[in-house]
Structure 1
Amino acid sequence: MQQLFQYLCSISPLTPATLRELEGIFCEVALRKHESFVEAGKVAKKFGILEHGILRAYYRTEGGQEYNKHFFRAPCFIGGFSSLVTGEPSPINLQALTDCHIWEADYHSLTKRYDEWPDLERLSRILAEQYFVQKERREVEIVLLNADKRYQIFKNEFPELENLIPQYHIASYLGITPTQLSRIRKMRTKG
């Protein structure tokens, strides 16, 4: 749990009293490869802090086509955040791409402490701001950049993932086919 607290305090300092309070909220969860943390169509109740492993957030069309939205690697917060905030069913799935170790907590157990623990609310605000910036950057990449440039950004942002996850997941994240990804990779090795 000490690593968890160090991670939280690296985002925004938390008082010892807040850390003691959080200790009672979180529990350890092991998620095996291919298991889901969030399932589309269900209302999310819990969020987590990924301590070890890799997950993907993805959408699935009615026809069964999957589109990867994001990859999560430790340490980071994970969850169906729109569902947690609105109480509506989640539009996304979160699936483990490797075995994962997660610190899980009930979302409402956390948020009901905001008035009493303003440092906790500040941490949540900072995280929300970071996610907003990340989401906006990703939207700009998909719309304005070509596939080669998106691939280069992917490699810079997730340098270790290329050898850890299937290539079709990377292609889906980039908004291209696996064949197009193969061509881009081949061109880069020649150049």
Structure 2
Amino acid sequence: MEKFIDYILQFGNLNKQQIDLIKSKATEIELHKDDYYWEAGKAVKQIGFLTDGVLRVYYFNNKGEEITRYFIDEKHLILSGNNVDEFYTPSEYLQALTDCKMVVFPKQDWKEISEIIIGWDNIIQKIIAKHHTEKLRKRSDLISQDATERYLGFLEKFPTLANRIPLSYIASYLGMTASSLSRIRKNIR
């Protein structure tokens, strides 16, 4: 819980009563490796913040192949949908790649925090903007680079992930086969 509060306080000021309100609405949960935070077609009814671990977002293409869209590591807010009032039904899966710890809020409690704490929405918008910028920066080079450059870029942008998650997921994220990634890794050692 303290990791979440410390992170939020980087984006705005909250007093003790506001922090106590946030803590009273939050629950700490654990996901074990391979557990799902959400699954395609099932309504998501909570907002989460990843304090420890790595998640991946993936979907199945029209050939039935798993495609990893991106990874989420520590200190990331996981919102669902565009509006906190509606239940979000994703078309993708959000799966734990490692054991994970999260702080979660039922959507109704998140909405209540927003209604009570003046400036909460501003804090959340700053976090969303930061995450969006990071995601774009991490994905933008993948389009124009060759496979080796994509992998080296991945290592630079996700320095803590390469040894924590299966290579097959990294290969999928980078748009290559696992055997191609193995060759690239062997050639750059």
Task: Tell me the TM-score normalized by structure 1.
Answer: 0.87
Deviates more, 1:12-21 or 1:31-40: 12-21
SS at match of 2:159: coil
8 Å Cα contact 2:38/2:93 also seen in 1 = yes
RMSD in angstroms over aligned alpha carbons?
Answer: 2.2
Unaligned runs of 5+ in 1: none
8 Å Cα contact 1:43/1:83 also seen in 2 = no
Structure 1 residues 177 and 141, CA gap change in structure 2 (3 angstroms):
same
Structure 1 residues 18 and 146, CA gap change in structure 2 (3 angstroms):
farther
Deviates more, 1:89-98 or 1:102-111: 102-111
Q: Which residue of 2 aligns with 1:98?
A: 98
Runs of 4+ in structure 1 displaced over 3 angstroms? 79-88
Q: State yes or no: 1:124 paired with 2:112.
A: no
Q: How does 1:35-54 map to 2 (within 5 A)?
A: 35-54=35-54
Displacement of 1:158 = 1.9
Percent of residue pairs identical: 29
Supply the AA of the counterpart residue of 2:54: I
Q: Which residue of 2 aligns with 1:175?
A: 175
Q: State yes or no: 1:141 paired with 2:123.
A: no
Structure 1 residues 115 and 88, CA gap change in structure 2 (3 angstroms):
closer
Displacement of 1:156 = 1.6
Displacement of 1:136 = 2.8
Displacement of 1:88 = 4.2
Displacement of 1:15 = 2.6
Determine the C-alpha separation between the residues in 1 that align with 2:64 and 2:11: 37
Q: State yes or no: 1:184 paired with 2:158.
A: no
Displacement of 1:31 = 0.8
SS at match of 1:141: helix
Unaligned runs of 5+ in 2: none
SS at match of 1:49: strand
Deviates more, 1:8-17 or 1:117-126: 8-17
Q: Deviations over 1:107-145 (max 9, x none)?
A: 232134324313311111012212322333344223222
SS at match of 2:77: strand
Determine the C-alpha separation between the residues in 1 that align with 2:98 and 2:84: 24
Structure 1 residues 36 and 14, CA gap change in structure 2 (3 angstroms):
same
Equivalent residues, number: 189
Displacement of 1:86 = 5.8
Greater helix proportion: 1
Deviates more, 1:134-143 or 1:88-97: 134-143
8 Å Cα contact 1:38/1:80 also seen in 2 = no
